[in-house]
Chains A and B, each alone.
Chain A
């Protein structure tokens, strides 16, 4: 059943509505575990939309196999998704920097508080992102090191390519995932694909992983395809490639490529002179897992990331 989590009147004849689809097992016992799938926090990240569709399709097709409660929130920022705006259109605010929200705060913070209240009590949560329009990401789960112990075992079930355990940063305490993890809702942040696009292959891959986690945790006893074990980043270096000049970036690598330190992975070109402004080389041996898609770059623009260590 479709429920409205929170609604807020907009100035002229419209309401902002954050909706969720709740799917219940055929026979409810009252003791079911609950999993929440959340996406559309950034309006330019659409990979999660296909995951929502496909997951619900798979569950509805085998509804008798559902043993837990599934809540699917396709758009936490519906105005952003609808208007191709990364942030919240009226305020130019990053919605993933206003959590846990405040019912006494500005409108957006009170919305954030209601979202947290609604998600509270979930036994598991997937927060699905899709990078932005600039970068293409291999399917990965990002885990703050302070939640490593709880989340890595769950992440291993999700059929993802890579689990990136990263250092804690105070500013990230304003994210949805941090807020949920801090109130005891284990939340896995998925990054995959590229902004403003849908990569069906990644969508199918993640849906298989979500169903696998549900099966492992007793929310699903239906069919699950083959599931692979992700690479865990904990003991590996991550090499960043940032441009040191401005121009047009043309990559010469694909995500998943195994590379050596010093390999040229792309070039920053100067369209006015016809010259290569900068050759971009891999900083370490490893596997490319982030690749820049948007060509225009400044000094500092992120061009890619390489995961070091054994990857095959």
Chain B
């Protein structure tokens, strides 16, 4: 393993921002794995740390196939992590909305550009990503439909679901999109959590990456075959909203199978304590996303359900 600073940026009052890359093996740039781009992506940071630990062990055993290089970048946005912010510590811009970056542009464009220059030429790009809605997801691989996506490859992670998302204008400045534009096979891996650590889904994510690297001939490793993924179009998920606001208590969780009419959550009056609304499942299926915060506004998405799917 070779540890090196792949990008640095001086700070007027803090230590320099140093983006560290861990390289395993040498030769063809095979796979790059990126963790926490945003400051609150603690689970993503943790997953990368566990992956680096595992790859270090594998390299010591000679399990990295010759002429293959893997690079893991565990964190880009740790200047924000260290002060409890999600976005860039100075101007609150989102580094994951600045790719491919620009070396003469503004600060977060320069960070994105400087890092992208180091990671853009790999055959496979894997990002541990997060979503802004507060809640739990079923671990899955997410791909943008750029015309260059390859769902067969996404299946090789062995996670239960691969989700396809239509590209929107706002997506065109993300790492995943730009990796694809640079002819890299790009995948976003979502585990259950973002700002908390979930050991089970973290282990699942590490195993999924190792399984993928093994199947692509980058490492020598034996692992469980995992799942043959169900491919889902994001637009096909059933969306369940709150009809009113209040204190929220969920009754069902991501990954559970539900039937049409099953109670999914309750909303309680914030002053009087009575249940105002019981949210019912609109269909049979498996819960893909479940909101977790204790308060909800009106019209908020609290569940997404994969329709007519059974365990």
A-to-B contact residues, CB < 8 Å: 8-13, 16, 86-87, 90-93, 97-98, 104-107, 110, 132, 134, 170-174, 240, 242, 245-248, 296-302
* Cβ–Cβ < 8 Å partners of A173 in chain B: 169
Indicate whether B295 reaches chain A with its CB closer than 8 angstroms. yes
The reply to whether A171 and B107 form a contact with Cβ atoms under 8 Å apart is no
The reply to whether B271 and A13 form a contact with Cβ atoms under 8 Å apart is yes
The reply to whether A11 and B247 form a contact with Cβ atoms under 8 Å apart is yes
Q: Which chain B residue shows the least CB distance to A178?
A: B169
The reply to whether B92 and A299 form a contact with Cβ atoms under 8 Å apart is no
The reply to whether A90 and B270 form a contact with Cβ atoms under 8 Å apart is no
The reply to whether B10 and A246 form a contact with Cβ atoms under 8 Å apart is yes
Say yes or no: A110-B299 contact (C-beta < 8 A), given A10-B245, A298-B90, A302-B106.
Answer: yes
Q: Which chain B residue shows the least CB distance to A11?
A: B295
Chain B 252-267 interface 0/1 with A at a Cβ cutoff of 8 Å (1 = within)? 0000000000000000
The reply to whether A107 and B170 form a contact with Cβ atoms under 8 Å apart is no
Contact of B270 among A12, A98, A246 (CB under 8 A): A12
The reply to whether A247 and B12 form a contact with Cβ atoms under 8 Å apart is yes
Indicate whether B303 reaches chain A with its CB closer than 8 angstroms. no
The reply to whether A299 and B299 form a contact with Cβ atoms under 8 Å apart is no
Chain B 214-251 interface 0/1 with A at a Cβ cutoff of 8 Å (1 = within)? 00000000000000000000000001000011110000
B-to-A contact residues, CB < 8 Å: 9-13, 86-87, 90-92, 97, 104-111, 132-133, 168-170, 172-173, 239, 244-247, 270-271, 295-301
The reply to whether A246 and B11 form a contact with Cβ atoms under 8 Å apart is yes
Cα separation A144 to B246 with both chains bound (whole Å): 42
* Cβ–Cβ < 8 Å partners of B109 in chain A: 300
User: A187 to nearest B CB, angstroms?
Assistant: 17
Say yes or no: A106-B300 contact (C-beta < 8 A), given A11-B295, A171-B97, A298-B9.
Answer: yes
Say yes or no: A174-B168 contact (C-beta < 8 A), given A13-B271, A296-B12.
Answer: yes
The reply to whether A106 and B169 form a contact with Cβ atoms under 8 Å apart is no
* Cβ–Cβ < 8 Å partners of A90 in chain B: 297
* Cβ–Cβ < 8 Å partners of B91 in chain A: 132, 134
**Cross-chain pairs A/B with CB under 8 angstroms, 26 sampled:** A8-B299, A10-B245, A11-B245, A12-B271, A13-B271, A86-B92, A87-B92, A92-B86, A92-B92, A93-B132, A98-B170, A105-B301, A106-B301, A107-B297, A132-B91, A134-B91, A171-B170, A174-B168, A242-B106, A245-B10, A248-B12, A296-B90, A298-B11, A299-B107, A300-B108, A301-B90
Cα separation A9 to B295 with both chains bound (whole Å): 11
A-B CB proximity, top 7 nearest? A173-B169, A300-B107, A9-B298, A11-B295, A9-B245, A300-B110, A246-B12
The reply to whether B12 and A174 form a contact with Cβ atoms under 8 Å apart is no
Q: Which chain A residue shows the least CB distance to B301?
A: A106
Cα separation A300 to B132 with both chains bound (whole Å): 26
The reply to whether B170 and A97 form a contact with Cβ atoms under 8 Å apart is yes
Inter-chain pairs besides A16-B297, A173-B169, A245-B10, 11 sampled, C-beta below 8 Å: A9-B297, A9-B298, A10-B298, A12-B245, A90-B297, A170-B169, A170-B172, A171-B172, A172-B169, A242-B106, A301-B106
Cα separation A11 to B12 with both chains bound (whole Å): 40
Contact of B301 among A10, A98, A107, A248 (CB under 8 A): A107
* Cβ–Cβ < 8 Å partners of B247 in chain A: 11
Contact of A11 among B13, B105, B169, B297 (CB under 8 A): B297
Cα separation A16 to B300 with both chains bound (whole Å): 13
User: A178 to nearest B CB, angstroms?
Assistant: 8
Q: Which chain A residue shows the least CB distance to B299?
A: A107
Say yes or no: A9-B244 contact (C-beta < 8 A), given A86-B92, A92-B86, A246-B11.
Answer: yes
* Cβ–Cβ < 8 Å partners of B168 in chain A: 174
* Cβ–Cβ < 8 Å partners of A245 in chain B: 10
Cα separation A301 to B109 with both chains bound (whole Å): 10
Residue from A246, A247, A248, A300 with most neighbouring chain B CB atoms (10 Å): A300
* Cβ–Cβ < 8 Å partners of B297 in chain A: 8-11, 16, 90, 107
The reply to whether B295 and A12 form a contact with Cβ atoms under 8 Å apart is yes
Residue from B12, B105, B168 with most neighbouring chain A CB atoms (10 Å): B12
Say yes or no: A92-B132 contact (C-beta < 8 A), given A246-B12, A247-B12, A299-B10.
Answer: yes
The reply to whether B107 and A301 form a contact with Cβ atoms under 8 Å apart is yes
* Cβ–Cβ < 8 Å partners of B296 in chain A: 11
* Cβ–Cβ < 8 Å partners of B270 in chain A: 11-13
Q: Which chain A residue shows the least CB distance to B109?
A: A300
Q: Which chain B residue shows the least CB distance to A175?
A: B169
User: A126 to nearest B CB, angstroms?
Assistant: 23
The reply to whether A300 and B300 form a contact with Cβ atoms under 8 Å apart is no
The reply to whether A242 and B105 form a contact with Cβ atoms under 8 Å apart is yes
* Cβ–Cβ < 8 Å partners of B246 in chain A: 11-12
Cα separation A206 to B108 with both chains bound (whole Å): 32
